[in-house]
Amino acid sequence: MDEERILNAEASRYLDEAAFVSSLVSNKERETGKLSDSAHMYPCSKSEVDQMADLLKKAKDAAKDAAEETFAERYNTLQGIVDWSLKRHKAWQWTLVLAALLGAAILYLVQLKQQDDILQARVDREQVAEWKIIRVNSVDFDSCPAEQSADDYAMRLASAERYKTYKLIDLKSRALKDTAQYAALRADYDSLNAMGFRQIHEVALADLDDHVSNQELWSTLLYVYMGFLLVLIPIYIITGYPRGYTITRRNNRRGCLNIFRKVGMAVAMFCLGASVASTLLPDYVVRNTDADGKTTENKEHKWLTGLLIVLRLILMVVGAVLLCLVASIVMTVESIGGLIDMFRKCK
């Protein structure tokens, strides 16, 4: 055995060089000649793979006894690393793709609701545009209510009088709550209070125009993000078959991204799981059946059931949003990395 090792001494030196080609090998490992982790042998670039392959060819040519057990084992291990590094591997994940599809579906549903909001905003604007000219009275600051009522909000667009009252109540409420801005808000109150029909009509139309614009902008942002996710999915899949050395390089550089993905997915799945598990909890309504078979409910703790439903919905929404957000960020980063690698190969 010792004689065979002596015969393969020169070839073994080539194998030693090949094992230390990767840029993952630290200076300390090069000085000691020992690798602290076998994963450090994996090359991170095409040039490193070519260099390792060339050293393995030299080792094979220099070997006096290629069948010697120790030499053959080391050679096959390093050759396997070279072969793996040159092959393409599936690196994209179904979980991220499904999360992105879920995000696109949620955005589509939100977009449908947003179209209704835009239509309602336009109807409100038309209603304000058709206001009849009436006398608009002023409201003394001291006699003006300090809080809005449900009727004030619901009827604010019925006439210039109701809209002015709604705006004045809002200004007084803010002035009383924000003492630092009291003087400025009080000045705004007095300025609005002095306005007649034409000026109030212009203010209302400007407010409704802004509202319509904001609704349309939000709708556009939803469309853009939904389209972004749908375009991102095929790009993520296409760029998700990198060569082995690219995977090694990415794994060495994206530690924070992996932590973000794992923690984000774990929190999202916890929220969704907790939401589903909460359906197994009993409601807090006590039902009693009398002798006649009539069932009555004790509503003393019924609010707890309502609270449980709200928490369930919050957990579901947070989980779904977080899942989609994590998926879109991770897929974007990995797709950009994949496109950069493809661009470099085309140069």
Nearest-angstrom CA–CA distance, 140 and 128: 25
SS3 288: strand
Tens-digit pLDDT profile for residues 41-95: 999 888 999 999 999 999 888 888 777 888 889 899 999 999 999 999 998 889 8
CA distance 145 to 170: 9
pTM (2 d.p.): 0.72
Is-contact 218 111, C-beta < 8 A? no
pLDDT in tens, 237-262: 998 888 888 888 887 666 777 788 88
Low-confidence winner among 15-19, 215-219, 290-294, 335-339 (lowest mean pLDDT): 290-294
83 contacts: CB under 8 Å, gap ≥ 6: none
Cα 203 off chain centre by: 38
Q: Give Cα separations from 246 to 42, 88, 234 (angstroms).
A: 10, 9, 20
What percentage of the chain has pLDDT greater than the value 70?
87
Identity (one letter) of the amino acid at 159? S
pLDDT for residue 146? 86
pLDDT at 306: 65
At residue 218, the pLDDT reads 92
What is the Cα–Cα distance from 276 to 270, expressed in whole angstroms? 10
The stretches of 130-254 forming alpha helices (DSSP H) are 150-154, 160-177, 182-193, 197-238, 244-253
134: nearest Cα among 194, 195, 197 = 197
Q: Scanning the structure block, which residue is given the tokens 């590094």?
A: 85
Q: Which residue has the tokens 């993952």?
A: 24
